[in-house]
Amino acid sequence: MYKFRNADENEQNEKDSLGCVPNVGEWIYGAGVREEVYALFLGKMIALFGKSDTLSDDWENMYTYPLVAEDENGTKLRIDIYHGSGGPSYCIPWQLDDEKKEIYINAVKELVAYIENAQPADYVHESVYYDIPANVTYTVKDGKAKVDSSFPEGEDFDPEDFM
């Protein structure tokens, strides 16, 4: 069992020595997940860990949460949760032997379950998916998510170009 918390400043600075490459990790959800799931995930992160200082309007780089998982023996594992091009993702050190990687993966599974079981905070966040471009607004209110997408006026957009 782990306890999860925001990484302090020293732990955040240790990230580079861990070999975790920013925004190069694994998706938490696979393909075909509805955008509302992403909106709820952010609401749960806000509820558990507060509003991220890195929250931005760039949909593909929306937030990063540098977290620490600490077990009953005081062993600490650094895990980053971020929203990248594939939605919510995690990053762990990539230079790990198989045994250590398994420990991290188990901690990630426990962390994701902890997040999934949380009640989301209410919020509204506007972002832009710059590749298309599309304006995307996440709204979570009373545990329900709503996602609105629109395209800037004057933009020619053919959905078939992205399928």
Residue 32 clears pLDDT 90, i.e. is over it? no
Q: How much is the pLDDT for 73? A: 96
Q: What is the DSSP string of 25-90?
A: SEESS-TT--HHHHHHHHHHHHHHH---TT--SBGGG--EEEEEEEETT--EEEEEEEEETTEEEE
Q: 80-130: per-residue pLDDT in tens? A: 999 988 899 999 987 788 999 999 999 999 999 999 999 999 999 999 999
Find out whether 95 and 101 touch, Cβ atoms under 8 Å.
Answer: no
User: Which pLDDT score, from 0 to 100, does residue 21 have?
Assistant: 58
Segment 138-148 mean pLDDT: 98
pLDDT of residue 163: 39
pLDDT at residue number 30: 84
Which residues are CB-neighbours of 95 under 8 A, at least 6 positions away?
19
Which residue do the tokens 């694994």 mark? 26
Lowest mean pLDDT among 26-40, 59-73, 115-129, 149-163: 149-163
Do 111 and 4 contact (CB within 8 A), yes or no? yes
Among residues 133, 123, 112, 143, the alpha carbon closest in space to that of 50 is found at 123
Task: State yes or no: pLDDT of 27 exceeds 60.
Answer: yes
pTM exceeding the 0.85 threshold for the entire prediction: yes
CA torsion angle for 17, 21, 23, 29 (degrees, to 10)? Answer: -90
- Compute the CA torsion angle 104, 9, 88, 18 (nearest 10 deg): -40
- The pLDDT tens digits of the residues spanning 41-94 come to 999 999 999 999 999 999 999 999 999 999 999 999 999 999 988 899 999 987
SS3 21: coil
Q: Residue 90's pLDDT is what?
A: 94
Checking if the pLDDT of 132 tops 80, the result is yes
CB atoms within 10 A of CB 106: 13
Q: Give 108 or 25, the one with higher predicted confidence.
A: 108
Supply the pLDDT for residue 162: 46
